Amino acid sequence: VSNLQGPRYVSPAPKGGFVVSEECGDVKVFTSSRKLLCSLGSKYGHRFGNPAGVCVDADGSVLVADEQRRTVHLFPEHGAPVCLVSTGLRRPAGVACSSSGHLLVADAGENCVKVFKYCVRPR
């Protein structure tokens, strides 16, 4: 995959696709055949500061850590984006989702990993 603007983090997505964050840019979602499915900034009208870590949860929602804005947003397949974390982060870098509904955020500004509960839905 070429023509990315400073690719930073990448994560697998459902059905063999993947998600890539671009430094000071956007987050792009690709299909398993490496074709651009969408740009989250365009699809949701969202402006990122400096998108960093990305991951995809069990529901297919994309989670993005924004270093500049010090937030973590969830972008569902359908519906509006949701800000999951808006305070308490100094420099969120990496993100991961656990199967039990926890969001793990690597905070490079505080040299730690912070754990948040974000999903309380029975499987």
The CATH architecture to which 7-117 belongs is 6 Propeller (2.120)
Q: Print pLDDT tens along the chain (123 aa).
A: 888 999 999 999 988 999 999 997 899 999 999 999 999 999 999 999 999 999 999 889 999 999 999 999 999 988 999 999 999 999 999 999 998 889 999 999 999 999 999 765 544
The model's pTM: 0.93
pLDDT of residue 101: 84
Q: Which residues pair with 63 in a beta bridge?
A: 55, 74
User: What is the DSSP secondary-structure string of 81-121?
Assistant: -EEEE-SS-SSEEEEEE-TTSEEEEEETTTTEEEEEE----
Determine contact, residues 1/30, Cβ cutoff 8 Å: yes
